[in-house]
Amino acid sequence: MSIPMDIPNKQDSFQQRKVFSIDGTRIGYRSIGEGPGIILVHGALRDSEDYTCLAIALSRSFTVHLMDRRGRGLSGPQGPGYAMNKECEDVQAIRVATGADYLIGHSFGGLVSLELARIDASITKVALYEPGVLINPMDEAWMRSYEKAMQKNDRRGAFAHFVKGMGQTPLTQLPYWYAKLILRIMIRGHHWTKTAHLLPQNLCEHREVQRLASSYRNYNSIKADVILIQGDKSSDSTKEMMEQLNRTITRSKVETMNKLDHFGPENSGGPDRIAGLLTHFFLNRKGV
């Protein structure tokens, strides 16, 4: 049984709590607001702090539970035997503790949310901002290069292999050494410190993304109302994936946010605009 326990609070507006997942891993989360409960599941190379503005905007109408997925922030490590089922169990532990039936998932957190909604019909509404779903498997060469760089403690190199391998930026077409140099210039200070710390977790998570490639077909069994949100500045491949998901999920619709890209829900993106769309979705009793 998961029982929330208070942790010393660093932000007066949030209440910090923790639960224990099935395997005993501590899962920390911060709660804010009043109203129907929402669990916000963040993306890879991110933690709960990156979604503070979105949580605050939503707290005007909801109780938002902003979790740290395992391997970062308030939570324990990914641990041995890490897999998607662990992520789903972590979210379920927070659901049991809070009674929240709504989910918001971004990027890898969107994939977690889809997998949980697929196996648990009690989840009634799910909002997904560009979930980390693959319609076709990736070329795994970049993962092998990423792992080799990590073994050499070359975290800058591992990050460059990741960015090039994902194929979502102009850096994909550049020589490896040049992309690595540009990323060193662009990603510095606290941003880099945080990214470097999360690189081992990121590799494990993207292996799960690859393992689940093409499993989107299973999402036709999802009973929840689902809103699929994308940025108009995101890649064509992302938009194609979103359309395929929309065709697959029975009760879904796609919304496009102007002037946003893949990182729209984060603090520097469009939290207030996204919160307005999500508030209408979650409070609308007519569904999608």
Residue 244: both structure tokens together: 């395929």
Q: Distance between CA 158 and CA 220 in Å, rounded? A: 36
In the DSSP assignment, the letter for residue 10 is S
Q: Distance between CA 2 and CA 18 in Å, rounded? A: 9
Q: Distance between CA 191 and CA 163 in Å, rounded? A: 15
pLDDT of 269 reads 72
In the DSSP assignment, the letter for residue 132 is -
- φ, ψ for residue 41, nearest 5 deg: -110, 115
pLDDT of 18 reads 98
186 burial level (CB within 10 Å; 0-12, 13-18, 19+): exposed
Residue 180: both structure tokens together: 């690595």
Look at the domain 5-135+216-283 and name its fold.
Rossmann fold (3.40.50)
Alpha helices in 4-63 (DSSP H): 52-58
Q: Distance between CA 98 and CA 64 in Å, rounded? A: 10
In the DSSP assignment, the letter for residue 221 is G
CA angle 157–159–163, rounded 5-degree value:
120
In the DSSP assignment, the letter for residue 62 is S
CB-based burial, 249-265: b 16+ in 10 Å, e otherwise: beebebbebeebbbbbb
pLDDT of 209 reads 97
Domain extents in the chain:
5-135+216-283, 141-210
Please name the helix (run of DSSP H) or strand (run of DSSP E) that holds residue 15, with its range, or none: strand 15-20
pLDDT of 5 reads 39
Reading the chain (288 residues) residue by residue, the pLDDT tens digits are: 333 433 333 456 999 999 999 999 999 999 999 999 999 999 999 999 999 999 999 999 999 999 999 999 999 999 999 999 999 999 999 999 999 999 999 999 999 999 999 999 999 999 999 999 999 999 999 999 999 999 999 999 999 999 999 987 889 899 999 999 999 999 999 999 999 999 999 999 999 999 999 899 999 999 999 999 999 999 999 999 999 999 999 999 999 999 999 999 998 878 999 999 999 999 998 777
pTM given for the model = 0.94
pLDDT of 12 reads 60
